Structure 1
Amino acid sequence: MGMVSDDGLHEGWLAPVFQDGQRGYGVSGGGIPHDHIAVGPEVQGPDGTWRYPSRPAGEVTSWILVCHCSSSSGSTATWLGPEFVRVPSAALEDLQTRRIHAVDADVQDVFHREDVEAVVADLWRTEHLFTVGTLDDVAAAAAGVAAARARLDGAVAMARHGGASWADIGRATGMSRQSAQERWRTPPPGPRS
């Protein structure tokens, strides 16, 4: 298991990536050799046993930050974040520039290193979770603007029906008579009584 957001809707982790772009699954055990990475869901073999398809850990060239995202409505999505390149020696490792060294036996669990987890968790929060929250705010604000426009259109229609002039409406909305007339002279689409 990787990182889980406070609301439980997001789970992030580092997924191993092979040179051809195939991503590893976050699974170990289950008959996967210790020097291999699972690359797909369990499949049943001809002998009836279940096993994960796998590839040698030595073929992993990088890791990518992945988040499985859910919403309260039940929809799901996958977010892909920055990639961390695998380097051949500890001397070349630099987590701030997203370079990680891991021997084959540690490739699957490199995320569990405290130093790696701290950097990855910070990126996940700042590049994904923070954005998710701000986009929710944008969506809520946009819905508020749409609702306010609908209320304003209805109020203008009622004012005109009640005999208000375009000059009166312009003053009430902070625009000229001509601008008010151009904006609202045609009733908004919708059912008429």
Structure 2
Amino acid sequence: MLVQGVTGGYKRDKMMPDYEIIPDEKMIGWRGACTCGWQGAMWKRVTSAAEADFSRHRDYVSFDGFADASRKVEDAIHEEWKDHIAPTDAILGVEAAAREYTQAGQRLDKTVAAAKAAGASWADIGRAVGISRQSAHERWADK
């Protein structure tokens, strides 16, 4: 299994020299991580099924095969990571909405100018936007 970091105790990966190849039988557990530096809870690999306890982040995976985390642990790590990125995802949504809002405002300004140039009254423009004639005039007369 590839693990980021170099301890010097294991062979380095040829394609990714910042990773070491840890033998499956040496894997002691699993942990989620993010490129921002966040690390999730450690899920310990225990030596018997009797020691497994999901509530205590312990899972049994046989030591005579691959050291891949169980589906249940992978799902738990993924949920933990989704909780970690939720604020960032929300901010990305706010940023996208703000861009769309700005673009819509610019489109509105241009279409109001075009309507006025075509002879529309401030009353007609205000009615189309849902504001008074006077508010429309105050907002767009100088643009």
When the two structures are superposed, what TM-score results if normalisation uses the length of structure 2? 0.51
Give me the CA root mean square deviation: 5.3
Match of 1:162 among 108, 112, 118: 118
Cα displacement (A) at 1:180: 1.4
Greater share of residues in strand: 1
Structure-2 change in CA distance of 1:137 and 1:183 (3 Å) = same
In the alignment, structure 1 residue 100 sits paired with structure 2 residue 39: no
How many residue pairs get aligned? The number is 131
Structure 2 partner of 1:25: 4
Aligned partner of 2:58: which letter?
I
Structure 1 partner of 2:76: 119
Retained in 2: the 8 A contact 1:110–1:116?
no
What per-residue deviation string (whole Å, max 9, x for no partner) do you get for residues 75-101 of structure 1? xxx36666123569775832xx57235
> For residues 1-193 of structure 1, what are the structure 2 equivalents within 5 Å?
24-25=3-4, 32=10, 42=17, 52=20, 64-66=31-33, 78=35, 83-86=40-43, 91=51, 93-94=53-54, 99-100=57-58, 109=67, 111=69, 113-121=70-78, 123=79, 127=83, 143-187=99-143
Structure-2 change in CA distance of 1:65 and 1:98 (3 Å) = farther
Cα displacement (A) at 1:156: 0.9
Q: Percent identity?
A: 34
Greater share of residues in helix: 2
Q: For 2:17 and 2:120, how far apart are their aligned partners in 1?
A: 71
| Higher Cα radius of gyration | 2
Cα displacement (A) at 1:116: 1.6
Unaligned runs of 5+ in 2: none
Cα displacement (A) at 1:153: 0.9
